[in-house]
Amino acid sequence: MTDATAKPLVTMTGIDKSFPGVHALDNCRFDLRAGEVHALVGENGAGKSTLMKVLAGIYRKDAGVITIDGHEVEIANPRAAQDLGISMIHQELNLMNHLTVAQNIFIGREPRRRFSTFLLDDATLNRNAAQLLEMMHLKIDPRTKVADLTVAKQQMVEIAKALSYNARVLIMDEPTAALTEAEIAELFAIIRRLRSQGVGIVYISHRLEELKQISDRITVMRDGRYIDTVPTPDATIEQIIRMMVGRTIYESAPELPTEESREIVLEVRNLNRAGVLKDISFTLKRGEILGFAGLMGAGRTEVARAIFGADPIDSGEILVHGQPVRIKTPRDAVRHGIGYLSEDRKRYGLALKMDVETNVVLAALQKFVNAVGWVDRRRTTATANHHVATLAIKTPSLQQQVKNLSGGTQQKVVVGKWLTANTDILIFDEPTRGIDVGAKSEIYKLLNDLARQGKAIIMISSELPEILRMSHRIIVMCEGRITGELSSTEASQEAIMTLATQRGGIVADNGDTGGSPGGQSDSPRLVSMESQSA
């Protein structure tokens, strides 16, 4: 509201929306001007996505008024929103995996053959998609199946799709959660270009530093209510956080152990998996947080999955407490005290239709069997209650289905699961993806606590500040190889990036690329593209 002269493109006032049992939006408001980037922030479950889904015609509002260009509108379905020039990039990927990139981008608006309403013109479709991708500097063949792309590429396809509508209002719900620095830079360039063309952009993110770079105004929501809107230059991050959580968050400095432990808990020797991993060797010590850094698709998740027995390995040795172990299934891993917190909690972390309690005890269920052979409900409830309390899991009850919880809360449920399993080696893969600042600092604190209790922790993260802040040691990967190891003292963003782009790994070994395996010059994106087809 600082620039009173700019005419609002969209206004939303008095918006109310309830889901069974949850009052998600309570008299909420929001406005958007042409040619601005308006950031929307709030804790997990604050109602950001819900508010924007109302605007995009996905949810019907219970009450309230939406105007566009000053005219009141009813947005009954996504089609109506599109017709009004509103397009949305969803927090979750919303792609048809079996279809190609081009088919995904233009779904619902396929070019037709001449004189025909039903026959598709796929040549034009691919050409249009190619143009669009090129404009975004994306090197993706529009005929690639989306299933064959990495998550980051899929996210970029989503963005391309949203842009293809040439919308006047573009809503981005956490577009950067799965992107690398370079892709984020590319995205920001696109956003700036659109802004200069007069597009109004809603930008939802938990990465508050980004807001400073890209947004013009920031609106804060809490508990389904509107809190305030401030011009970005006038706001400090601390201020915004305070508005978000309604209190000051004390961000502790990394609490590194004074004395480094010598006890090696996990040792990995020469782990290989054709086309994905090459000669992975490292050690993990008791009480240590070992950071795994690298660009998207560097193979960090693959290392974790290989150690955890989720994917087969071709060769290599794993030693737990100095003993060689055979880990062929996740069950073996859990038995040897390894827990894995996946980067994609919905797909790999949670039984979404089940309640909080079951999810929390799932990995350790056998421990809760009583003499009769039944699951001891009293103990599972007690354990779940304990974790709900210590992790501050925001759930109405233990019987709440996990699918009804917000993303950050879900993540905490997964953490609770591995705490219940009480494994002494924990692999956290992107533990703070999609998590609000409050929850994030809690998770950091948790990681430190766990390390201090003697757990050995691997933390995979694409956020360099997070890696730098949390890790005792940092392993950097590129193209399926470990390209270097840094101690906390020698680590810096620059040092990590240098190692993370040290190419010449397994892709070159495959030998069939026409690309430039040795070149460091190209954008980091290339990495995932190349290994993706391997």
Partner 1 sequence: MSLETTSSIPFSRTIFRSDATQKILAFAGLIVLFVVFSLASPNFLTFNNIVGILLATAVNGLLALGVTYIIITGGIDLSVGTVMTLSAVMTGVAIVMWGLPIPIGVLVGIGTGALAGLVNGLTISKMKVPPFIATLGVMMMAKGLALVISGARPIYFNDAPAFREIAMGSLVGMIVPDYKIPNAVLVLFGAAIIAHLILTKTVMGRYNLAIGSNEEATRLSGVNVDRWKTAIYALGGAFSGIGGVIMAARLNSAQPALGAGYELDAIAAVVIGGTSLSGGEGTILGTIIGAFIISVLTNGLRILSVPQEWQMVITGAIVILAVYADIIRRRQK
CB of 263 to Mg ion, least distance (A): 28
* 219 interface partner picked from ligand ATP, Mg ion, partner 1, none, CB below 5 to 8 A per type: none
Assess 353 for contact with partner 1 (CB under 8 A): yes
* Residue 91 binding Mg ion, by CB under 5 A: yes
Which residues from 13-32 bind partner 1, rule CB under 8 A? Answer: 20-23
Q: Which residues of 204-228 are buried (b: 16+ CB within 10 A; e: fewer)?
A: bbbbbebbeebbbbbbbbbebbbbe
Binding site for ligand ATP (CB under 6 A): 19, 22, 24, 42, 44-50, 91, 150-151, 276, 294, 296-302, 343, 404-408, 436, 462, 528, 531-532
User: In the numeric block, which tokens belong to residue 220?
Assistant: 């804060």
Site string for partner 1, 37-66 (x = CB under 8 A): --------x------------x--------
150 binding partner (options ligand ATP, Mg ion, partner 1, none; Cβ < 5 to 8 Å by kind): ligand ATP
Tell which positions 360-399 bind partner 1, by CB under 8 A.
Answer: 362-363, 365-366, 369, 373-375, 389-392, 394-397
- How near is the Cβ of 204 to ligand ATP at its closest, in Å? 7
Size of the site for Mg ion (CB under 5 A): 4
Q: What residues contact residue 123 under an 8 Å CB cut-off, 6+ apart?
A: none
Please say whether the beta carbons of 307 and 427 come within 8 A: yes
35 binds, among partner 1, ligand ATP, Mg ion, none (CB under 5 to 8 A by kind): none
- The 3 state secondary structure assigned to 475-518 is EEEECCEEEEEEECCCCCHHHHHHHHCCCCCHHHHHCCCCCCCC
Compute the distance between CA of residue 291 and CA of residue 282 in angstroms, rounded to an integer: 12
Query: Which of 11, 381, 488, 533 is the binder for partner 1 (CB under 8 A)?
Result: 533
**Single-letter residue type at 5:** T
Choosing from 12, 17, 47, 49, the residue that interacts with Mg ion (CB under 5 A) is: 49
- Secondary structure (3-state) at 153: helix
Counting Cα atoms < 13 Å in the Cβ hemisphere of 502 gives 15
Quick one: DSSP state of residue 315?
E
Tell me how far, at minimum, the Cβ of 46 lies from ligand ATP, in Å.
4
Q: Are 442 and 462 in contact (CB under 8 A)?
A: no
Q: Is 182:213 a contact under the CB 8 Å cutoff?
A: no
Among 154, 229, 232, 301, which residue sits at the site for Mg ion (rule: CB under 5 A)?
301
Helices 237-245 and 437-452 cross at an angle (nearest 10°) of 90
- Identify the H or E element spanning 456: strand 456-460
- Comparison of 410 and 441: residue with beta carbon closer to Mg ion: 410
Q: Is 445 in the site for partner 1 (CB under 8 A)?
A: yes
Scan residues 108-167 and list those touching partner 1 (CB under 8 A).
108-110, 112, 117-120, 123, 126-127, 130, 134, 139, 141-144, 148, 161
Site for Mg ion in 246-265 (CB under 5 A): none
Q: Residue 513 has which token pair? A: 């690329």
224 binds partner 1 (CB under 8 A): yes
- Do residues 128 and 140 lie in contact, with contact meaning Cβ atoms separated by under 8 Å? no
Amino acid identity of 122? D
Q: Which of 6, 65, 264, 310 binds partner 1 (CB under 8 A)?
A: 310
Nearer residue to ligand ATP within complex by CB, 446 or 507: 507
Interface with partner 1 (CB under 8 A), residue total: 96
Shortest distance, CB of residue 259 to partner 1, whole angstroms?
A: 25
Question: Could you say which residues in the range 323-352 bind partner 1, by CB under 8 A?
Answer: 329-331, 333-335, 340, 342, 347-352
In the complex, least distance from residue 4 CB atom to ligand ATP, rounded to whole angstroms: 28
Q: Which residues contact 419 (CB under 8 A, 6 or more apart)?
A: 387, 391, 450
CA distance 398 to 405: 11
Find out whether 104 and 95 touch, Cβ atoms under 8 Å: yes
The site for Mg ion (CB under 5 A) is made up of: 49, 91, 301, 343
